[in-house]
Amino acid sequence: MVRVMAETRERIEAALSSIDARDHTDLPRLIDEIHNLPPQASREMIRQLGREAGDKILVLLTLITKSRDTDLALVAVETMASIKSLESALALQEIIKTASDKKLRKEAKRSLYRMKMAGVEVEELTEEETPSPERELMPRPRQALVSHIDGVGGRLIWIVMERPLGALSLVALGITDTEGIKECLDVNLGKKRLKQELERIWKMEDLTVVEVPATYGQLLVREAYQRNLKAGIEPPLEYKKWQKAMEEGEISDTSPLIYRELQQEEVRFKAALLLEFVDFLSLPEFSSWFFELDSVATYALELLEARQSKIILSDWARREREARIIGKAVEGLFSGDYPFLFKRRLEEMAYILWKTDRREEAKKALAAALALGEDGDQSLREHPLISAMVLRSLNLAIQTIVAGSSKM
């Protein structure tokens, strides 16, 4: 037993010597080894490490307070009180705020009081700072990646969730801005496997992926869920176990990320940018930005009929006739809340372009977004990007219609 204790102690000390306070996924295994020691031996080891390691052991002690062994957790709290530092006092405050075990919170309060008597000063906790004890076990977003948005407002979101004792899960969601969360998958991963999985995501073909703040990824998921509710569409069952964690915490800044990089005034009044919007449609990320055949078939047939008409018109009159058809299509397609959705797509895509070092294209995308809806339907009909996108959709629809007719 002495040999087992010595080996366990050596492994813990080796881990403590290189630990990063934000990355302690290897320690849960060591905690299990401490649990497997006889009760008296495990308690003595914790106390001895506390005396010798000081603040460095706080990460380990904090994890032990969240373990299944209440007696050992109480010893960890007691040991924290022997480390008379501000960091230890703050760790005790966190236990008081979040621990679900009443005995543990009571012991933490006693330990904190003893530290105050020893001269360690910390701010008093208020009732407002004391959240529900269940937050102790609440997974928290640690990292988030998002893909570009496709032509129907769909994108992928990956969120790394940190669970109790440093365990990690990768939650992958497929969302659209009209129907909300369509897919949800999750997998539990170790640090090494997570790194490999994220590298695989970065290298996925036909997807442009960028990292966003973890809370912003959380915000996008919340917004998507609200669309589920609005559309009356049930989210996937797999999402249910993450829903509470996704809704936990307040997100103060909910504006699109591009506004943290660019000011509206910087691009709003640059008319030259508006004239170059059609360049977007040649970018890989915009290749699917067109309307499906079912939604444009009526307008496409009208445009096809105009082009095949045997009535002789001047070039100007022919262009005017096509422009009227395109304008009518714009009014029909960009109705309801679609202009708002389209604006948000452009804002999100502007950030994708910005983060992939296409700064001028990002400015154009933001300018296109800001130009939407300022003058009602007139601004929609005269918006170069919208006109180009609708014309592309009509031309693709005409190709499909003609190809179908030739086979009959």
Give residue 165's pLDDT band: very low, low, confident or very high (50, 70, 90): low
Asked if 94 and 40 sit in the same domain, the reply is: yes
Q: What percentage of the chain exceeds 90 in pLDDT?
A: 40
Asked if 153 and 246 sit in the same domain, the reply is: yes
Asked if 248 and 264 sit in the same domain, the reply is: no
Is pLDDT above 60 for 106?
yes
Among 167-181, 210-224, 305-319, which is the least confidently predicted range?
305-319
Asked if 349 and 318 sit in the same domain, the reply is: yes
Average pLDDT, the chain: 83
Is pLDDT above 50 for 212?
yes
Q: How far apart are CA 282 and CA 261, in angstroms?
A: 24
Q: Which range, 117-121, 135-139, 181-185, is most confident?
A: 181-185
pLDDT (mean) for 203-211: 93
Question: Residue 90 has what pLDDT?
Answer: 82
Among 79-88, 165-174, 288-297, 327-336, which is the least confidently predicted range?
79-88
Q: Tell me, letter by letter, the H, E, C secondary structure of the chain.
A: CHHHHHHHHHHHHHHHHHCECCECCCHHHHHHHHHHCCHHHHHHHHHHHHHHHHHHHHHHHHHHHCCCCHHHHHHHHHHHHHCCCHHHHHHHHHHHHHCCCHHHHHHHHHHHHHHHHCCCCCCCCCHHHCCCHHHHHCCEEEEEEEECCCCCCEEEEEEEEECHHHCEEEEEEEEECCCEEEEEEEEEECHHHHHHHHHHHHCCCCCCEEEECHHHHHHHHHHHHHHHHHHCCCCCHHHHHHHHHHHCCCCCCCCCHHHHCCCHHHHHCCHHHHCCHHHHHHCHHHCCCCCCHHHHHHHHHHHHHHHHCCCCCCHHHHHHHHHHHHHHHHHHHCCCCHHHHHHHHHHHHHHHHHHCCCHHHHHHHHHHHHCCCCCCHHHHHCCHHHHHHHHHHHHHHHHHHHHHHHCC
Asked if 387 and 399 sit in the same domain, the reply is: yes
Give residue 225's pLDDT band: very low, low, confident or very high (50, 70, 90): very high
Q: Which residue has the tokens 């009014």?
A: 331
Last residue of a domain, one of 101, 134, 167: 134
Is pLDDT above 50 for 244?
yes
Among 217-226, 284-293, 317-326, 389-398, which is the least confidently predicted range?
317-326
pLDDT (mean) for 101-109: 85
- Name the domain count of the chain: 3
**Domain range holding 103?**
2-134
Asked if 289 and 390 sit in the same domain, the reply is: yes
Among 51-55, 169-173, 223-227, which is the least confidently predicted range?
51-55
Asked if 18 and 144 sit in the same domain, the reply is: no
Question: Residue 6 has what pLDDT?
Answer: 58
Asked if 272 and 384 sit in the same domain, the reply is: yes
Asked if 306 and 388 sit in the same domain, the reply is: yes
Is pLDDT above 80 for 31?
no
Asked if 127 and 39 sit in the same domain, the reply is: yes
Asked if 26 and 47 sit in the same domain, the reply is: yes
Question: Residue 96 has what pLDDT?
Answer: 85
Is pLDDT above 70 for 321?
yes
Last residue of a domain, one of 81, 105, 134: 134
pLDDT tens digits, residue range 254-263?
A: 999 999 998 8
Is pLDDT above 50 for 128?
no
Give residue 18's pLDDT band: very low, low, confident or very high (50, 70, 90): very low
Give residue 149's pLDDT band: very low, low, confident or very high (50, 70, 90): very high
Asked if 188 and 288 sit in the same domain, the reply is: no
Last residue of a domain, one of 103, 134, 165: 134
Q: Which range, 310-314, 372-376, 394-398, 404-408, is most confident?
A: 394-398
Is pLDDT above 50 for 94?
yes
In terms of pTM, does the model score above 0.75? Answer: no
